[in-house]
Chains A and B, each alone.
Chain A
Amino acid sequence: MFELAGTSAVAEMHEDVVPKTCEAVWNMLPVEGMAIHANWSSREIMLHLHGEKLLRLPPEGPARRGTTAPGDIVYFWRSPQMSRGKQLAYSAEFQRELSELAIFYGDPAGGGLAADDPARSGRDLNLQVSTLFATLIDIPKPFAQKCEDVRHKGLQRLVVTRLER
């Protein structure tokens, strides 16, 4: 379950497609941190994983072609030093190893065909992993609005917990 500024959304994991990734994320929960909005990939917020929560997982499942749909939740890992350190305040984040959960909360770029983030290329070079491992069951409007608010108001605390059934 994703809780953001008094709102929440529930996701289901794709254990049938990417069981190892799902298990690793499940075992890592709960996790919380400050959600940041994407700058290339449209309606997406990200939770960077740090310290003991950092996940370093191998690729799993079918190769993704950059397509996304509202509700997609992606595990992403990028090798350190893959992105140059030109970004200013961003530089520390870009230069080091990056592990994150990406939550697509709305209409993706290019109608789903152009969520093309220059910072997210390199799978063929083993420099990054991008695994779709869960999907929101639905996207409650209040939750989507709070995601959008991250763009307008800045970082917001996001809490991800297990929801047993």
Chain B
Amino acid sequence: MRVTVIHDIWSGHQVLAHLDNKVVLPPENVLTYLPIPGDIFYYYRPPHYFRGSPYGRCESAEIGIVYDRDTRPQGPRGPEAVSLFANISSDLEAFARACEDMIYRGQRDLLIEKAGYIG
């Protein structure tokens, strides 16, 4: 999957990719308010989850990647619980630098693919 990834503006050291809104998964393990660096989560917000414009109209399915500490997933109306489903297990430091670089240089393309077993 190739997606555009953008730096979060509510949550701290976190980047996110907006998915096709057809990717709607039921809540599972929606307990993570305080992720740690390397955590990868899924988040879905149905339409009218927030009242009022501009966010109330917007349905959103996202993948979030936390790359450093002091991060708390938040939306425009405050903290959000997210579904943690994976964790970066190698090369986080280099990946984190690329994430942080987006603060200065803007959004980037992100390729997510299956790697199989890495021994």
Contact = CB atoms under 8 A, between A and B. Distances in A.
Interface of A: 36-44, 86-90, 107, 109-111, 113-114, 118-119, 150-155
A42 B68 contact: no
Contacts of A110: 74, 76-78
A37 B69 CA distance: 19
Contacts of B10: 40-42, 109
Interface residues of B, number: 30
Interface of B: 6-13, 54-55, 68-70, 72, 74, 76-79, 93, 96-97, 100-107
Label chain A's interface by main secondary structure. Answer: loop
A119 to B, nearest CB: 8
A88 B106 contact: no
Nearest to B93: A88
Counting chain A CB atoms within 10 Å of each CB, the highest count among B6, B69, B103 belongs to B103
A151 B11 CA distance: 14
B29 to A, nearest CB: 24
A89 to B, nearest CB: 5
Contact of A89 (B55, B70, B104, B107): B104
Given A87-B68, A89-B101, A109-B74, A151 B7 contact: yes
Contacts of B11: 39-40
A111 B9 contact: no
Contact of B103 (A37, A113, A114): A37
A154 B68 contact: no
Contacts of A42: 9-10, 76
Contacts of B100: 87-90
Contacts of B78: 109-111, 113-114
Nearest to A150: B106
By Cβ-Cβ distance, the 9 closest A-B pairs, closest first, are: A154-B106, A154-B105, A153-B106, A110-B78, A114-B78, A118-B70, A89-B100, A88-B97, A109-B10
